[in-house]
Amino acid sequence: MKILALVSGEGRRGTGTRSITALVGRAERLMTDSLADPPSIPEIARELGAPHSYFRREFKRHTGLSPHRYINKMHLEKARRLMGVTENPLKTIADSQGFSSQYHFSSAFKRQFGVSPKARRKSGATGGG
């Protein structure tokens, strides 16, 4: 409710967008800092003092991704980095990033990066997109 009050009061003066941007930035940091055991989306909204539906809508509007997809993307990026710096089996990496199976990991990875994890690892590509 505090966020809604801020937005409604500040929006007329043109600073509401900054408040929303700050809220989304805090949410991104919270998600990044707790990637190993991320809180639920309602818990994040509660932590930020924002209504759940408002938080989800504004987060997606600012990042282009729902909070859930944002967390999933972060897990995939971490998995990609791990593939470049470890020899761990792909199943181990998938498990470490919370994927229910190697199949789901591989499918999500290919959707995100355009190549399967196995092909990515064979190519020796590391780091960026």
Quote the pTM value: 0.77
What's the confidence (pLDDT) of residue 90?
95
Per-residue tens of pLDDT for the chain, all 129 residues: 444 344 444 333 334 667 888 999 999 999 999 888 888 999 999 999 999 999 999 999 999 999 999 999 999 999 999 999 999 999 999 999 999 999 999 999 999 999 999 999 888 765 554
Residue appearing with tokens 């707790």: 34
Looking at the structure, tell me whether residues 55 and 94 fall in a common domain.
no
Of 64, 81, 115, the one marking the end of a domain is 64
Write out the residue range of the structural domain in which residue 29 sits. 2-64
Residues near 100 by Cβ (< 8 Å), separated by ≥ 6? none
In whole angstroms, give the CA distance from residue 90 to residue 105: 9
The total number of structural domains in the chain stands at 2
